[in-house]
Structure 1
Amino acid sequence: MSTETGWGAPVVSAVSVVAYALAMIGVAVACWIGIFLLWGVAIGPDSALAAATAIAACPALALGYVAVSMDGNPTLAMAAYVVCLAGATATFLAAVWATVFLFTVIPLGFDAAATVAGLVTLALAATAAAVSVGALTAVGEATDWTLAFRMAVAILLLVLITIGFLAAIWLVAFVLSSLFVGPILGVYAAGGITVLATAVLGYHEYTQVASIEQRADATPTTADDLPGIHATTTKVAAQLGVPMPTIAISETHAPEAMVVGFRPSEMHLILSYGAVTALTDAQLEAVIAHELAHVANRDAMVMTAVSAPVVLADGLRARVRDDVWLHGGRERDDEEWEPPAERPDPDEEWGDDEIFGPNDEWRTMTQPSKSDDDDANESDGWLISLVLFVVATVAWVVSRAITAVLSRARETAADRTAVEVTGSPATLAGALRALDDRITQTPTRDLREVASVSSLSILPLEPMATDPGDPDSIFGRARNRLHRLRVRLFRSHPPTERRLADLETLERERR
């Protein structure tokens, strides 16, 4: 049975419309119930009916506007994303209520804390409803609503992961603080520790990351060096209304094409010899349009912001892992190291890895012997570190998978913007095929050298298709399955075949 022609297509369309309508009604009803209960507890039941009706009408009207303004009928995917978006929003508001309540119940009492938590949550709910209406009506009728809903769901889920991750850190800090200062002061001490730890981890991670341009080994160029590329980039930048980026060329055969930077005025467009030599002039223009579309869409800023839970969780994992390795009875064997013959001068060479070892082994070796009490404290600290490591690992895996979903959505949006600029989906499709062929021809060693910037390039540069295990053995098959699962969860780009199919669909629509 075909769903493209005959009676199958109308049936699928009708089912999709009904599913979307039911999702819209369900969202409105759930919103009404939640607001009614919150309003009744926080303000009183007298005006709860009118307030709940007014606020619940906002998402209903917004979803109705989407249905009538889009090109075609709503799809089953849109209905599913609406339900996911509503569930994530409700969970977020519940987390806000619980957080405010826990921080105010001790000083204010149960009833007053419930009132304060209800008022804060109501304010957020009303703001979210107003923002949703304004955003949906401002983006225009040409929006890909399925893509927009998917991105909204991803962002909300990342917010929830961040809240859960910080809540777990707060809980550990609260348990420890309560032992020393009591439960009342422990609440606020744990809050301060959580905020401080988050700030330190975030600052450390973002300031310690090396420059992407340096990692890509790219050299800035001028218009005299590459007049053709500079002229094409200037034209595309003017079409998209973005500042002219600095163009840097990477001397590698791996086909790199990426933009890096946080603000549009500071963007660098990095192209490799491998990418430039693999493309025709028209294909190179399409690739440049794709990359500058990221600038126009503020993707660097968006992805930096939403990657916060990944950065925080990964930073905590790294530090806890080092703590467990150094103090939990395990030794690191990253490199051979011999302790110095004599104590170094701290004014001259203090902190040098050649003196102290890659993980300060020299300082560890010169510490005085530990007492039984120290061993007991270290055992307790190792257990706490293990708990934090598990929490951080779970947060890292989930948040990285969600960030990958959002990254794939941004790549799809950049493809469509590039097509609008060049007017030729076939040209961008040809560029993707040419770059994909060049990646296949590039030695695995060269791809591994640029793996650190793979997620930023127009196509992933990692050798993802390589099977890491022997398919004839049980362990090899298990490793292959894990490898495919990792690729599916953490892939930063949509599969190239899917992108080509989407571009072919756009090409047919333009004929």
Structure 2
Amino acid sequence: MALRYRMALTLFGLALTILCVVAATTAYVTLVVGFGIVFITGEGLAGLPLEALLAVAAVVTLASAAWLVARERSAPAELVAYAETVGTGSDDQQRRLDAETTAIAAQLDVERPRQHLVATDTPISLVTGYGAADAHLVVSTGLLERLGDAELRAVLAHELAHLKNRDAAVMTAASLPLVAFRRVTDLLRGRTAVRYGQTSHVKRTDALLAVGLVLVAPVWALAELLTASLSRAREFVADSAAATATGDPAALASALRAIDDDIEERPTEDFRTVASAGSLAIVSPGNRLVRPLATHPPTDERVMRLREMAAAQESNHGNA
């Protein structure tokens, strides 16, 4: 019940953020344009009733919000397109990924997502998309090389549990305005990414959302906190679902520990930082020391819970 309440609160915060961002930006632009018109036409607009102006502003705000949401639906595809620019794995690795994903998808009774095996040594797995039709599973060659079969199966079960629970859709949508703002700040700081083989540029939607978030900073802060809190809760749920599906909590605990240790030894400037991919990955490289903004629970805590599940399973088997 607490989780459902938190999810509802997060989605409300998301909707409020988008509306406030668009309303703030619309008001800013309207103010500038209005001053321009008044300067040119004198007092030609003075006769218009205030109610008419407010109605027009409300319609424009809602239309702008709908336009922003529609435009940002391409974010998962852009992330996948960027990931694939680094290259793909071997045929043997692809067959291994296909076989394990197919088996886990059948076990969890979910439609198998499109798989993308990317050639990077960093062990990465993430799932993104708004539904079964556009769900994408991104796995790195480094993950396949680092994990044994049982560990890989547990990681894939974790990712597909996100799909089954619709976490991927919720978190992809919940991070919509925040991701756009980060793309703008990354570009301004010179951290340009390569997308479709070319240097990326900020889109009009990104710029609009970034300006709006600056204008409504308190709502922005609330959205960051709510989204991070929900994300942490959903990671625990996916861990539990994966452990139950595979019957091997220890395998997932071992995989999380291996991934976390490997990421600690590697630079974080890879595609995990593009479009906030880190918040979708099984172990996030960012916000490790800022708990309220962390999108993932501490790996130590996740491992501890999984080992407790494994111990409980062994105790039940012993008593049977």
Q: TM-score range by the shorter chain?
A: 0.7 to 0.9
Which of 114, 128, 134 is 1:260 aligned to?
A: 128
Residues 271-350 of structure 1 aligned to structure 2 (within 5 Å): 271-310=139-178, 314=181
* Residue number in structure 2 paired with 1:193: 60
Which of 109, 123, 132 is 1:241 aligned to?
A: 109
8 Å contact kept, 1:309–1:395 = no
Choose 1 or 2 for highest CA Rg: 1
* Residue number in structure 2 paired with 1:157: 13
Q: Secondary structure at the match of 1:460?
A: coil
Give the aligned CA root-mean-square deviation in angstroms: 3.6
Q: Find the aligned partners of 2:54 and 2:34 in 1 and give their Cα distance.
A: 8
Once the two structures are superposed, residues 183-234 of structure 1 have per-residue CA deviations (whole angstroms, 9 ceiling, x without a partner) of 1211112112212332444444444776222222366779866433322221
Paired amino acid for 2:265: Q
Q: Residues 146 and 507 from structure 1, CA distance in 2 versus in 1: closer, same or farther, beyond 3 angstroms?
A: farther
* Residue number in structure 2 paired with 1:270: 138
Q: Secondary structure at the match of 2:306?
A: helix
* Residue number in structure 2 paired with 1:449: 270
Q: Find the aligned partners of 1:195 and 1:155 in 2 and give their Cα distance.
A: 17
* Residue number in structure 2 paired with 1:437: 261
8 Å contact kept, 1:151–1:409 = no
Deviation (angstroms), 1:405: 1.3
Residues 96-115 of structure 1 aligned to structure 2 (within 5 Å): none
8 Å contact kept, 2:162–2:168 = yes
8 Å contact kept, 2:22–2:212 = no
Which of 294, 309, 315 is 1:491 aligned to?
A: 294
Which of 420, 423, 427 is 2:251 aligned to?
A: 427
TM-score by length of 2: 0.73
TM-score by length of 1: 0.48
Q: Secondary structure at the match of 1:211?
A: helix
The answer to whether residue 230 in structure 2 is matched with residue 406 in structure 1 is: yes
Deviation (angstroms), 1:503: 1.3
8 Å contact kept, 1:174–1:186 = no
Q: Find the aligned partners of 2:78 and 2:311 in 1 and give their Cα distance.
A: 41
- For structure 2, the 5+ residue unaligned runs are 39-44, 191-200, 203-209, 316-320
The answer to whether residue 303 in structure 2 is matched with residue 506 in structure 1 is: no
Q: Residues 273 and 221 from structure 1, CA distance in 2 versus in 1: closer, same or farther, beyond 3 angstroms?
A: closer
Q: Secondary structure at the match of 1:216?
A: helix
8 Å contact kept, 1:220–1:246 = no
Q: Find the aligned partners of 1:500 and 1:284 in 2 and give their Cα distance.
A: 16
* Residue number in structure 1 paired with 2:196: none
Q: Find the aligned partners of 1:438 and 1:189 in 2 and give their Cα distance.
A: 54
Q: How many residues align?
A: 281
Q: Find the aligned partners of 2:213 and 2:285 in 1 and give their Cα distance.
A: 30
Q: Find the aligned partners of 2:19 and 2:116 in 1 and give their Cα distance.
A: 39
Paired amino acid for 1:504: R
Residues 21-420 of structure 1 aligned to structure 2 (within 5 Å): 145-165=1-21, 168=24, 180=45, 181-207=48-74, 211-217=78-84, 226-310=94-178, 314=181, 390-420=214-244
8 Å contact kept, 1:177–1:190 = no
* Residue number in structure 1 paired with 2:207: none
Q: Find the aligned partners of 2:238 and 2:217 in 1 and give their Cα distance.
A: 31
* Residue number in structure 2 paired with 1:55: none
- For structure 1, the 5+ residue unaligned runs are 1-144, 323-331, 335-357, 360-385, 466-483
Q: Residues 147 and 205 from structure 1, CA distance in 2 versus in 1: closer, same or farther, beyond 3 angstroms?
A: closer
Deviation (angstroms), 1:307: 3.2
Q: Find the aligned partners of 1:208 and 1:422 in 2 and give their Cα distance.
A: 31
Q: Share of identical aligned residues, percent?
A: 34
Q: Find the aligned partners of 2:311 and 2:8 in 1 and give their Cα distance.
A: 29
Q: Residues 223 and 240 from structure 1, CA distance in 2 versus in 1: closer, same or farther, beyond 3 angstroms?
A: farther
Deviation (angstroms), 1:435: 0.9
8 Å contact kept, 2:127–2:138 = yes
8 Å contact kept, 2:94–2:117 = no
